Structure 1
Amino acid sequence: MLYRDLDTPALLIDRERLEKNLVYMQSYADKNKVNLRPHTKTHKMPEIAKMQLKAGACGIAVAKVGEAECMAQHGIKDIFIANEIVGKIKLERIAKLAQKGVEISFGVDSVCHITAAEEVFSAFKVSVPVLIEIEIGENRSGIVEEKDFINLLEALKKCEFVQFGGIFSHDGNSYGADNIDKLHEIARYSQERTLAFVNLAKAHGMNCGIVSYGATPTFMNEVEILDGITELRPGTYALMDASQGNAVGTLDKCAATVLATVMSKPTSERTILDVGAKGLTMQRRTVGICTTPGLGTIYEYPEIHIDKVFDEHAIVNSQSFHNKVEIGDKVRIIPVHICPVCNLYEKAYLISGDKVVKEIEIACRGKIV
């Protein structure tokens, strides 16, 4: 079957680009003598996760308990939930995964996370490691003050069933770096701050088994990985998107596109495609090296961008594009940010050249609890 024979909108994945991306990142991790733990929230597909493991990854990261459960059901047994977990219901679900032999771990940044987990895990008689998240510039979750870090270490010392697994960090602020030099500066600071907490833990008699650090723009631009980092945790690298492509200076690594049909040409400039916010999202990147024009880039005409989206319509205001396409033609769109886009589709089509070679279930789609 040719991909242009598919009904639209449809999520396509270029097999050769995907495979090259997986090889690149694994080689980068191997060169730096660190483990690779891909963040699968990007693609939400156990099949791609297994490709990453086969390529050499030590395990996977997920964002939610539901994703961990789904990946475990598909036979993946080493899973880190790179997020804080709150609530007895979620903790009990993690305990059940541990009882089934899944090597499960998750993030914490508050003492109450630890005490609640200890209560649940003691009832289930399971030991589960946690990683303390360190805030390194993204201004999101994670430890900011050293005193709070020490309080967490002291709380962990009192636990029988919650183990100290190490620390993790994410320099999502690297997406907004003004240039490559600034990106490298952010990466160095992020790692140095992360490693400072490793030393602080050691000074308090607790060694970090895992020091996990992640963000795709830094690794795709081959930043230096400092001694003491044990694990890289990128996500978007597998599929890439227009913003990540702009961060590395080429769209040639973008493996994922959305196939859409020209459905209307109501004026001499305006062209309407049959996919909108429900198939592309409304996300923009307007700052830093990931800056991307519009709400999607036309794969066949990379100088053309989507100007506006409604729920089910994408608007392109370009006379040149209008003159190049007819109603019924199909074009591919490189999303601005692929992670939320994958969550909108039930399946993806793996393509090689013009041919559809496989359908892949997006099994973790909607697993946001």
Structure 2
Amino acid sequence: MKLFRCDNCGNPIYFENRSCLNCGFRLGFVCEEIGLHAVQPDAARADRWRRVDQQQFVYRFCPNAAFDICNWLVRDDSDEEFCTACRYNGLVPDPNTPDGLRRWRAISDAQRHLFYSFLRWDLPRPGRKEDPEGGLLFDLKDDVILPDGSCQPVLIGHDEGHIVIRTAEADAPTREQQRAMMNEPYRTLLGHFRHETGHFIWNRMVRDAGKTESFRALFGDESADYQQALDRHYSEGPPPGWGSTYISHYATTHPWEDFAECFAHVLHIVDSLETAHMFGIALAPMSHDFLATHASFDPYSVLDFDRIAEVWIPLSMALNSIHHSMGERDLYPFILTPVIQQKLAYVHGLLTRQI
């Protein structure tokens, strides 16, 4: 994630900021430039905004800004009502209830982080208007309270672009309980978004692009019965020695899940590296040829995933050690073996249009 500077005063500002803490100017995210900018009301209309640094375009805030859920901008000449992140939402929590508003804010924060990566790589993201059968659609669903008072949890999942996110997992206790029950090393809202959209990306960039053969060479035959594979996973668990070839035990379930997990991890790694670089964090000196071609080290522009891994592995080890010093679990509890790194490189090659 990039760091930004206020166009009005030059103070550092962060992706999540709604206003500059130094000068107080309101901030809005401009998707066309993938930048956070200081804005001021348009002279003609108080509900329209112009950037402080340039007056060429008129913007309006995403309607969800009314609930302090989103601060992304929409060009006033756009036919879209909502911003690039929020326009894919179907069902959303009720913002008129304290739980609904709090959960939606947390979920939206993760969702906008997801779309930051989609914008950086210009990944395909048709909605249901463009593709009624397979376009992106997010339903943020509450658990169902049954007549007897018991709770029926919502299942997180993907079906041809339709992604369901369980709103209850915006609450840390619920998410941690689920993590422990599933014996997972970590569980986050952003991880859910990245994993589930990985299935959508597989549809678009592997299946629909005619790349199933190259996919199968690394991940296996995705035509294997998915439900049987899922049942086997939950009844038997991962196979012995799975850690040498799969990024997570859930990745062992089926080739689709293996790809989705790898997609999520490529986004985890690249975005974390960009954040570290913006803060000036570096642990291992990079080779001279790498520095010559990537002096600014923008991980989103690096095409060789081996170079990404070269920087990420020592950084993640250091971060894990820092967490241990605080008595916390590993921040990144995963090992990039040669086989796993090859799978991640395949996904990265798709995203950077090299495959």
TM-score (norm 2): 0.26
TM-score (norm 1): 0.25
Normalized per residue, the structure richer in strand is 1
- Structure with more relative contact order (C-alpha pairs < 8 Å, separation 6 or more): 1
